[in-house]
């Protein structure tokens, strides 16, 4: 009966050990799965934090590009700005994908994205405004205030998103650490219990073997005693045979049960995925399960009888043997962590080792089982690295925030300095019209020697401000923009200042109107100068009209006396040339030459006067026909100089036909007169540019130095002596007057010795 109970206890112990091993395996798998899930969430949270940093980085790039361009006007910064804008858009999209399962983060992104778009648009508007010449200082300051407000709103939402992700990271980290602890606890407790049960079963089997040996010994004793007495043998033969048969049957049953238990124990041990082994006191393997042998790519037969020197490198083997000897010496159970190099890879094992003894308590060796915790160690290492990386990122983020705050403070200081030292009069007020910031120009323009007006009311500083200006201020505080190109301000001392001003609201971080910013310019001196200039222009026009009238009258009245002088000098030449002395002939020649030149001058003056006086009659004029008439007028000069004139089709314009003929005739005559040693080559063509025709007259003459390109269009201004190039100095000024009266302009492009090209423009029909 006792043997039957012991056999049942052994079978139950082995079954319970198998169930415990299965439970430990399942619990370990569940813990590792939770650990991997937590590790994935940690990685996901780091990805979200990285995308937040990338969004912040993109905004910083855009802001740096904007700030660099605003300070230097270097277009290279625009590339940085555009890259930052694209980067922000891409990273926001990725951030949405990563937080798709987090409704709170999605709501924050729904609020954040329009603010970022608005801020980037504000920066782009500021850049566009900067590209205008001159830029609008008022709008620039307003955009700067708006950008500051948007920056604060965007940064707050980004900080909220990052704060929630860090809370999630902290939670996932705690979950991961708890999974690691739970896995180790389940492993140690489960395998310790299993190991204890296996040791108990092993002890019962040993006890069973001792009982069987004792029974055999008792049987032998009985048989010996029976042999001593023949009579007793005869009498007890039947009884002994019966007992032997019964005992033999019991032994066979015990042996069968032991074999079944051993097979079951071997199956349980081999079914465990972790190595289980038994060593003697010399470190030689007495037993190792199949998973343990497979780990070394060997069979169990190849390992049994060998020590650790055939399985591990020397340094690892020395540590294992030292641990085993310490356990054998102390007789205690230990849990050890070993890092071993097996088949080209490093593994970390958590091993539980304990001594096993015989029935007398003598230590026979150690029993151990090991579990591969490499994934756990790798997860712990990743977690450690992630924590270190998080610390570094937090430090970097903190540094960036410090830098951003410093940049913001610097930007505010620059804005204050910009306002104070701006060339315009600028003042910033709160919603009670109390002074916040003022420029030095404001103090100068309004003769405010006391700078301690910050915090004082605008109406206290200027009690003479009219009521309608106060009403304008209230409109601005309601959100409107008020401006005026010219307005007067009656000062308390009785003087009147003329002003040009623009008054705009500025908004605080909540979007409400925080006050008023006022840009003014005292234009009293300019207005007085404009009035003086108007009077001077009117006087000049009157004087020019009188001068033109005088020139016309004088030229007209001089023609007849000069004609008579010329006629009488011609008679003197015909009748008395050669009859008087040489001096008389020379004097008569001088008189004739002077009279001739005077006639030419008077003729040119009359033509110039007709060009500049009276109504300008305009009609469709074919410039090609006007050119032909001019060439007919110059036919003699052209033949005499052997000039080669190339003409291209010319347009029809709305002009005065006779003046167009005079214009082309003067330019062609000028090109022929100022020719070089070779015959003149003149080219006339036209081209259409937007709403104007451009006509060019190009020659190969002596050319003009560029510094004289304006002087030649001034009346009576000459670059050469009359002996070398005769003329009155009226031809080109006449051309300029004709072109300007037709709404065009005229200019010359030339270099000395390389010919000249005269251009003039006329409105297209």
172 Cβ contact partners less than 8 Å away, ≥ 6 residues apart: 38, 41, 42, 45
Model pLDDT for residues 403-437, shown as the tens digit of each residue = 766 776 676 667 667 666 666 788 889 989 998 88
Model pLDDT for residues 359-388, shown as the tens digit of each residue = 788 888 998 888 888 888 788 788 888 878
Q: Let me know: does 31 contact 179? Beta carbons within 8 Å.
A: yes
Is pLDDT of 442 > 70?
A: yes
State the angle between helix axes of 582-612 and 657-673 in degrees (0 to 180), rounded to the nearest 10.
140
Model confidence at 686, pLDDT cuts 50, 70, 90, reads very high
Residue 653 is predicted with a pLDDT of: 94
Residue 427 is predicted with a pLDDT of: 87
Residue scoring higher pLDDT (530 or 24)? 530
Among 590, 585, 737, residue whose Cα is nearest residue 663:
737
Lowest mean pLDDT among 63-77, 678-692, 750-764: 63-77
Share of the chain above pLDDT 70, in %: 69
d(CA 261, CA 17): 12
Distance of CA 443 to the CA centre of its chain: 41
Lowest mean pLDDT among 541-555, 681-695, 724-738: 541-555
- Calculate mean pLDDT across residues 132-160: 69
Is pLDDT of 103 > 80?
A: yes
Q: What angle do CA 561, 562, 563 make, to 5 degrees?
A: 90
Is pLDDT of 485 > 80?
A: yes
Structure tokens at 254: 């015990």
Q: Let me know: does 433 contact 449? Beta carbons within 8 Å.
A: no
Ramachandran class of 77: left when φ > 0, alpha when ψ lies in -120 to 50, beta otherwise: alpha
- The owner of tokens 């006639």 is 599
Report the run of H or E that residue 159 belongs to, with start and end: helix 137-228
Q: Let me know: does 261 contact 268? Beta carbons within 8 Å.
A: no
Q: Are strands 681-689 and 644-647 parallel, antiparallel or unpaired?
A: parallel
If one counts every other C-beta atom within 10 angstroms of the C-beta of residue 4, the result is 12
3-class secondary-structure state, position 645: strand
- The owner of tokens 């395998």 is 191
Lowest mean pLDDT among 185-199, 504-518, 638-652, 683-697: 185-199
Residue scoring higher pLDDT (750 or 572)? 750
Is pLDDT of 713 > 90?
A: no
Model confidence at 167, pLDDT cuts 50, 70, 90, reads confident
- Calculate mean pLDDT across residues 80-93: 83
Average pLDDT score over the chain: 77
Residue scoring higher pLDDT (739 or 723)? 739
Q: Let me know: does 109 contact 91? Beta carbons within 8 Å.
A: no
- Calculate mean pLDDT across residues 298-308: 87
Residue scoring higher pLDDT (145 or 472)? 472
Residue 56 is predicted with a pLDDT of: 84
Q: Let me know: does 599 contact 614? Beta carbons within 8 Å.
A: no
d(CA 380, CA 375): 8
The backbone torsions φ and ψ at residue 628, rounded to the nearest 5 degrees and listed phi first, read -60, -40
Is pLDDT of 20 > 70?
A: no
Residue 685 is predicted with a pLDDT of: 95
Residue 753 is predicted with a pLDDT of: 83
Residue 102 is predicted with a pLDDT of: 83
Name beta bridge partners: 31.
Answer: none
pTM of the model: 0.33
Structure tokens at 218: 């008792």
Q: Let me know: does 442 contact 448? Beta carbons within 8 Å.
A: yes
Q: Of the spans 93-107, 204-218, 666-680, which averages the highest pLDDT? A: 666-680
d(CA 305, CA 299): 12
Distance in angstroms between the alpha carbons of the first and the last residue of the chain = 132
How deeply is 699 buried, as exposed, middle or buried, from its count of CB atoms within 10 A (0-12, 13-18, 19+)? buried
Model pLDDT for residues 584-611, shown as the tens digit of each residue = 767 777 677 666 666 666 666 666 666 6
Model pLDDT for residues 493-543, shown as the tens digit of each residue = 778 788 888 999 988 877 889 999 998 888 877 877 878 888 877 776 665
d(CA 697, CA 634): 15
Report the run of H or E that residue 759 belongs to, with start and end: strand 756-763
d(CA 757, CA 428): 56
The backbone torsions φ and ψ at residue 351, rounded to the nearest 5 degrees and listed phi first, read -110, 140
Is pLDDT of 450 > 70?
A: no
Residue scoring higher pLDDT (547 or 619)? 619
Q: Of the spans 48-52, 208-212, 342-346, which averages the highest pLDDT? A: 48-52
Model pLDDT for residues 218-228, shown as the tens digit of each residue = 656 655 654 56
- CA atoms within 13 Å, Cβ hemisphere of 519: 20
Is pLDDT of 721 > 60?
A: no
In whole angstroms, how far apart are CA 271 and each of 32, 98, 147, 265? 20, 42, 69, 10
Q: Which long-range contacts (CB under 8 A, 24 or more apart) does 261-264 make?
A: 261/7, 261/10, 261/11, 261/14, 261/201, 261/205, 262/205, 264/11, 264/14, 264/15, 264/18
């Amino acid at each position: 009966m006792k043997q039957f109970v012991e056999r049942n206890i052994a079978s139950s112990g082995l079954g319970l050990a198998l169930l415990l091993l299965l439970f430990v395996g399942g619990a370990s798998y569940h813990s590792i799965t939770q650990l991997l899930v937590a590790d994935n969430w940690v990685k996901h949270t780091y990805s979200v934090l990285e995308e937040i940093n990338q969004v912040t980085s993109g905004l910083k790039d855009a802001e740096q590009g904007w700030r660099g361009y605003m300070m230097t006007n270097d277009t290279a910064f625009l590339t940085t700005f555009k890259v930052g804008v694209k980067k922000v858009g891409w990273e926001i999209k990725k951030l949405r994908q990563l937080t798709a399962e987090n409704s709170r983060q999605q709501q924050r992104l729904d609020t954040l994205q329009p603010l970022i778009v608005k801020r980037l648009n504000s920066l782009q508007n500021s850049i566009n405004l900067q590209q205008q010449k001159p830029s609008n200082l008022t709008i620039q300051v307003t955009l700067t205030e708006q950008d500051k407000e948007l920056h604060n709103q965007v940064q707050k939402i980004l900080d909220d998103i990052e704060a929630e992700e860090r809370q999630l990271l902290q939670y996932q980290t705690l979950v991961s650490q708890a999974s690691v602890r739970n896995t180790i606890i389940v492993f140690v407790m489960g395998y310790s219990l299993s190991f204890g049960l296996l040791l108990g079963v092993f002890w019962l089997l040993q006890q069973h073997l001792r009982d069987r040996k004792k029974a055999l010994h008792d049987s032998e004793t009985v048989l010996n005693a029976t042999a001593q007495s023949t009579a007793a043998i005869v009498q007890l033969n039947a009884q002994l045979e019966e007992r032997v048969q019964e005992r033999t049957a019991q032994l066979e049953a015990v042996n069968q049960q032991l074999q079944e238990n051993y097979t079951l124990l071997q199956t349980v041990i081999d079914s465990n995925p972790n190595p289980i082994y038994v060593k003697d006191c010399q470190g030689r393997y007495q037993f190792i399960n199949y998973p343990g042998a497979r780990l070394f790519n060997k069979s169990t037969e190849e390992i049994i009888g060998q020590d650790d020197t055939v399985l591990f490198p020397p340094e690892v083997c020395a540590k294992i043997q030292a641990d085993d000897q310490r356990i054998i010496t102390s007789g205690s159970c230990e849990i050890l962590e070993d890092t071993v190099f097996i088949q080209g890879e490093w593994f970390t094992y958590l091993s539980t080792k304990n001594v096993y003894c015989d029935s007398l308590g003598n230590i026979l060796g150690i029993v151990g089982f090991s579990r591969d915790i490499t994934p756990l160690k790798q997860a712990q290492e990743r977690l450690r690295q992630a924590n270190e990386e998080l610390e570094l990122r937090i430090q970097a983020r903190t540094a960036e925030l410090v830098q951003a705050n410093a940049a913001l403070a610097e930007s505010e200081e620059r804005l204050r300095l910009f306002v104070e030292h701006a060339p315009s009069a600028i003042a910033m007020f709160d919603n009670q019209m109390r002074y916040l910031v003022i420029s030095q120009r404001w103090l100068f323009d309004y003769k405010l020697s006391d700078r301690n007006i910050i915090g004082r009311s605008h109406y206290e500083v200027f009690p003479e401000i009219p009521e309608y200006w106060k009403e304008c201020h209230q409109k601005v505080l309601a959100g409107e923009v008020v401006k005026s190109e010219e307005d007067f301000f009656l000062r308390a001392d009785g003087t009147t200042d003329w002003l040009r001003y623009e008054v705009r609201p500025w908004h605080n971080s909540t979007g409400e109107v925080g006050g008023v910013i006022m840009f003014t310019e005292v234009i009293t001196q300019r207005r007085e100068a404009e009035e003086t200039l108007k009077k001077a222009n009117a006087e000049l026009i009157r004087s020019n009209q009188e001068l033109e009238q005088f020139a016309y009258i004088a030229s007209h009245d001089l023609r007849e006396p000069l004609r008579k002088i010329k006629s009488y000098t011609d008679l003197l030449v015909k009748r008395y040339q050669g009859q008087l002395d040489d001096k008389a002939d020379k004097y008569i020649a001088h008189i004739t030459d002077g009279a001739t030149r005077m006639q030419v001058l008077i003729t040119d003056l009359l033509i110039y006067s007709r060009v500049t006086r009276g109504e300008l009659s305009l009609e469709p004029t074919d410039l090609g026909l006007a050119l032909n008439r001019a060439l007919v007028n110059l036919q003699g000069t052209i033949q005499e100089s052997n000039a080669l004139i190339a003409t291209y089709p010319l347009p029809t314009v709305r002009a005065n036909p006779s003046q167009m003929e005079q214009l082309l005739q003067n330019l062609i005559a000028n090109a022929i007169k100022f020719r070089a040693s070779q015959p003149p080559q003149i080219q006339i063509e036209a081209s259409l540019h937007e709403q104007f025709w451009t006509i060019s007259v190009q020659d190969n003459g002596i050319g003009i130095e560029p510094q004289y390109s304006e002087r030649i269009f001034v009346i009576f201004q000459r670059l050469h002596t009359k002996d070398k190039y005769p003329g009155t100095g009226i031809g080109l000024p006449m051309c300029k007057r004709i072109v300007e009266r037709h709404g065009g302009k005229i200019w010359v492009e030339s270099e000395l010795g390389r010919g000249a090209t005269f251009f003039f423009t006329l409105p297209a029909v």
